[in-house]
Amino acid sequence: MTDDTTDPTVCQMAGFTSVIGGRWKLGILCTLTTNGKARFNELVERLDPITPTTLTRQLRELERDGLVTRTQYNEIPPRVEYEATELSATLGPVLETIAEWVQTHALQRPTVTEPAGNGVGQPA
């Protein structure tokens, strides 16, 4: 067995998942790369059941990592739009591959059945 800390593939994947990891980041990126610019409330609707707090945190992280740009317009009422960057556009083929995998395999997962018994901690 090899030591995972010396495998360059493992290290690269760790870097990749640190940038796009999290429950909602792939969905945000897919939405922005597919549909273009979006306002905050549009993203909340498209990514239901995401909470506004979680969306804010995920958008800030994506912006920090250069995958999303935030444009604030000094209007009344205030308007903010989010858009995928050129860097995130390079993830397009990866996102398409993941979407294809999900369509092909994710719904084919075996169902886990509960063990026989009449309650938690009680033998069958």
- CATH number of domain containing 96: 1.10.10.10
Note whether residue 72 is domain-resident. yes
pLDDT tens track for 46-70: 999 999 999 999 999 999 999 999 9
Tell me how many domains the chain contains: 1
β-strand pairing of 79-84 with 38-39: antiparallel
Note whether residue 121 is domain-resident. no
For the residues of 27-80, what is the DSSP string, one character each? HHHHHHHHH--EEHHHHHHHTTT--HHHHHHHHHHHHHTTSEEEEEE--SS-EE
For range 86-115, the mean pLDDT: 82
Note whether residue 66 is domain-resident. yes
- Residue 38: give the domain boundaries: 14-103
Note whether residue 123 is domain-resident. no
Q: What is the pTM of this model?
A: 0.74
Report residue 54 as tokens.
Answer: 């979680």
